[in-house]
Copies of this chain bind each other. A is one copy, B any other.
Amino acid sequence: MAASVQTRRAGFRTTVVLYGLALAALVVALKYIEYRFLIRDLSVEVYIGVVAVLFTALGIWMGSKLLRRKQEEQVGVSHQVDEEALRRSGISGRELEVLQLMATGRSNQEIANQLFISLPTVKSHSSNLFMKLEVRRRTEAVHKAKSLGLIA
């Protein structure tokens, strides 16, 4: 889970660094062309065109990198569990078990039987769960948990 944070930050740094390198490389390349081939009067329009196209492409690429995670959260595209979101939510192991059974439509009593605990305990867990998810009903909890990728 901590590894996930590292990976994401590293990903962001990588993107920014590559962006800077691309910009530097472009300047160098233009200068090189200018002096190497003695073409001193390349029109400004040509420069603008080249730069505009290249950096539009770069922007699209960067945007897709940076926006992907956000969109996955919104739509829940990856049916995978977001470990990082799970950690951030502060939901404990037992609470998650209750949540998962809730999501399959089990009643509190059925959850209690399945986990070999009492009904009040299930209620206790679910109440804590609702607080942490900032919801008031189990259906809302399941919906939010799915959209956040806390459960599959």
Query: Which chain A residues have a beta carbon within 8 Å of chain B's beta carbons?
Result: 19, 23, 26-27, 30, 44-45, 47-49, 51-53, 55-64, 66-68, 71, 74-75, 77, 102-107, 135, 137-144
Contact = CB atoms under 8 A, between A and B. Distances in A.
Contact of A55 (B27, B30, B51, B67): B51
A64 B62 contact: no
Contact of A62 (B60, B68, B74, B103): B60
A124 B41 CA distance: 73
Contacts of A58: 56, 59
B26 A52 contact: yes
A44 B30 contact: yes
A111 to B, nearest CB: 11
Contacts of A23: 48-49, 52
Nearest to A104: B143
Contacts of A49: 23
Contact of A102 (B57, B59, B139): B139
A66 B71 contact: no
